[in-house]
Every structure is written in C-alpha cells, then in structure tokens.
Structure 1
Amino acid sequence: MITSPLEKHNSSDLILNGTLFHMRCCAHILNLIVKDGLDVIGEGIERIRSSVLYWVATPKRIEKFEDTDRQLNIPYSKRLVLDCPTRWNSTYFMLTTALLYKDVFACFSVREKQYKIEILGKDWKLAAILQDNLKLFYQVTEMFSGTKYPTTNVFFLHVCDIRLSDWLKSENELIKEMAVKMIENFEKYWDVIHEVMVVATMLDPRYKMRLIEF
C-alpha cells in the first residue's frame, strides 16, 4: 500500500505545514460549478431533451430523422445525443447538436403525428445562449484535463477568462439565476488560490508576475 507524505510525517515537519500536498482538481471544480448552475435551468430545456430522447429511442426513428434531414438539405454532420444528468458536458453536446437540426424538429412537429412535442422559440433561444456560454467552460475543462503538457502554469490565464459577471447582464432571467449560483460556487472554491498555482505562473516566462498582479 502506498502512503502519502502526510501519513509519514507531521504536517509541522513539512514546508508550509504540508499545504502543498493537498490541492483540488481544477477540472473537477469546474464540473461542480457548471453542474450546480445547470440545476437551476431545470425544465428550461426539457422539451429539447424530450425531443432528442424521442428520436434516438429506436434505430428506425434515427433513420427517419436522418432521411428528413437530407430532404431539407441540412448537412448531417453529427448524430443526436441525449445528455446524462451527472455530466454537464453531455448537456453541452446535446444542445450543440440539437441546434444544428432545429428546422428538422420543426418539420416533424407538423408532419409526424406520433411526435407531439413542440419546441418553442424561447427554448431554442435559451439553448443557443447556454451552448455559447458553456463553450468556454468546455474548452477550459479540456485544457485542465490534458496529460501530455503542464497545466498548472496556465491556471490563472484560463480562470481569468471565465467572466461570470457578464452573465448577470443577460436578458434571460434563467441565465442570471444560473450565474448567481455559479458565482457563489466559483468564489467558494477559488477565493483562496493555492500557492503552487502562483509559483507555476511566476515561473512561466510568458506571464511572470503580470497574471498574479491582475
């Protein structure tokens, strides 16, 4: 069994009382922040989710969806995907893909008798805003999850890119409510920055003290 340094030594024997040995995963924190934010949305995208579920339920429906897409001359570049409640990035993928085929959904709401879900204009508008806002979180999460390059030195650079305060200016009340929840968690987890992040950023010749001062 492998034991950690803190199990072999008293924290008082270590540099900075051992705080350098305990650090949260940045990608995991981002996931927690976004997931809590999406919980606020609730039924805001439920009609889109239900529509996707209907059309991916069977191979025959998938085939029919693809055929109708071709008839409407819409490039079929991605398959519809249903999201998983525990993975916010799957919701991002679902919305990104569904937005490509909103005209197909509209066509079925008129022509398909068994398909009784009507996605409203406000649903698509919310989906577009969410997809646009979540894109940055997805890109930052992908960067933090890298295994073939260092990531600690670019922590400040990418966290500073996340401007949740801009979401508070949104005309959509759900987005504002979502932003309030996410800002609360953002400050909870990153109000105090780990010393390792500071040192790594200072040692990067591209940034040195500029990001720390910012």
Structure 2
Amino acid sequence: MHDSIAAIRTSVRYIRSSPSRLQKFRSCVEKEKIDYKGGLVLDVQTRWNSTYLMLDVALKFEKAFTRYEDEDDKFLSYFNEKENGKKRIGPPPTSTDWQAASVFVKFLSTFYEITLKFSGTLHVTSNNFYHEICEVQAILSDLAASNDDFLSSMATSMKGKYDKWAI
C-alpha cells in the first residue's frame, strides 16, 4: 500500500469515528460549496475495489479535508498517536497525496467497471467478456510503460499476475 492511501484512510477513519467530527466535516463541505450528496466511505484494506470507492469519494472532498485540518485542533495530533503499538502514517494528506490518489483512482476505475460487468452476470463466459479481458491486458501494458515510476511498478506487478493467470 502506498503512504498516500494510508494518509487518506486515516483521515476518513478519524472523521467517521465521531458524530461531532462528521458534523464539523459536513460544515466544511458546505463552506467549500462542494456539491456532492454522498458521504465518506471507509475501505476494507484488503479489498482494492473498496479502496477505489474510498479514494473516489475522498477526492471529491479534498478541499473540505484541507479546511477540516485547519478547523479541528485534534486532527493533526491523531496522526501521531499509536494504533496497535505502531505510529500511524503521518502527516495528514498533502497535495502530493491527493495527486497520488487521483492516479490510483484513474488506474483502478477501469478495473472496477470491468469487475462490475463480471459480477453483474450470472453466467460469465469467455465470449461475453473477451473484449474486457483484452482491455485489461492493453491497459496493464500501457501503464507498465508509463513514465510515472510508481504507476509503472504497480502495473508491471499486476501484469505479471495477469500473464500468469492468462496462460
């Protein structure tokens, strides 16, 4: 996992852990004039599709998170506390973290959409989804050749697993 995802996850967990924090966050959303009616989503760390959903929603609230950091005195100290004997990932999300999250969302969105197609069908057959399987291969190949080192590394790792599965 990337530290950027961990920083955003910790922020979401902090805000969702208390009704008063959630209310203060909603106030920040209103002040920033963010027109999104959904709420924050906390992921299951071992499920990439839930991480995609968490990041996708969190990105819509990026400005509200920044404002919240200024309005809640305890927010910054939360990142320095220990959890299960380990220091949390800190500091809170930076602009670089939000940019990385945007890359993750872009990367994972295609896989999320394809997964929805597969899981929405009772009888998955290769002739029905050949195009999607080829699309995954093409996307992984393109991303593996990317100039972004992190994205390229992630895609190369996934492509290795895909190639092993496809054989």
**Cα separation, partners in 2 of 1:103 and 1:86, compared to 1, 3 Å:** same
Whether the 8 Å CA contact 1:52–1:80 is kept in 2: the answer is yes
Q: Which residue of 2 aligns with 1:38?
A: none
Pairs within 5 Å for 1:103-182? 103-116=63-76, 117-147=91-121, 151-162=125-136, 163-182=139-158
Amino acid at match of 2:38: K
Q: Give the Å deviation of 1:148.
A: 5.4
Q: What is the distance in 2 between the residues matched to 1:172 and 1:126?
A: 10
Q: Which residue of 2 aligns with 1:94?
A: 54
Q: Which residue of 2 aligns with 1:184?
A: 160
Higher Cα Rg, which structure: 1
Which TM-score applies when normalising by structure 2? 0.83
Q: Give the Å deviation of 1:109.
A: 1.9
Q: Give the Å deviation of 1:111.
A: 2.4
- Coordinate RMSD, CA, aligned: 1.7
Where does structure 2 lack aligned partners over 5 or more consecutive residues? 77-90
> In structure 2, the residue corresponding to 1:77 is in which secondary structure?
coil
Q: What is the distance in 2 between the residues matched to 1:90 and 1:96?
A: 10
Amino acid at match of 1:69: V
Q: Give the Å deviation of 1:174.
A: 1.7
Q: Which residue of 2 aligns with 1:49?
A: 9
Amino acid at match of 1:171: N
Which TM-score applies when normalising by structure 1? 0.65
Q: Give the Å deviation of 1:151.
A: 4.5
Q: What is the distance in 1 between the residues matched to 2:57 and 2:125?
A: 29
Whether the 8 Å CA contact 1:52–1:82 is kept in 2: the answer is yes
Q: Which residue of 2 aligns with 1:31?
A: none
Pairs within 5 Å for 1:20-39? none
Q: Which residue of 1 aligns with 2:40?
A: 80
Q: What is the distance in 1 between the residues matched to 2:5 and 2:97?
A: 6
Q: What is the distance in 2 between the residues matched to 1:65 and 1:136?
A: 30
Q: Give the Å deviation of 1:150.
A: 5.5
The percentage of aligned residue pairs carrying the same residue is 34
Where does structure 1 lack aligned partners over 5 or more consecutive residues? 1-40, 192-214
Q: What is the distance in 2 between the residues matched to 1:148 and 1:184?
A: 28
Q: Deviations over 1:91-149 (max 9, x none)?
A: 00000000000001111222221111531111111111110111110111111112357
Q: What is the distance in 2 between the residues matched to 1:146 and 1:109?
A: 39
Q: Give the Å deviation of 1:59.
A: 1.7
Q: Which residue of 1 aligns with 2:88?
A: none
Q: What is the distance in 1 between the residues matched to 2:37 and 2:123?
A: 30
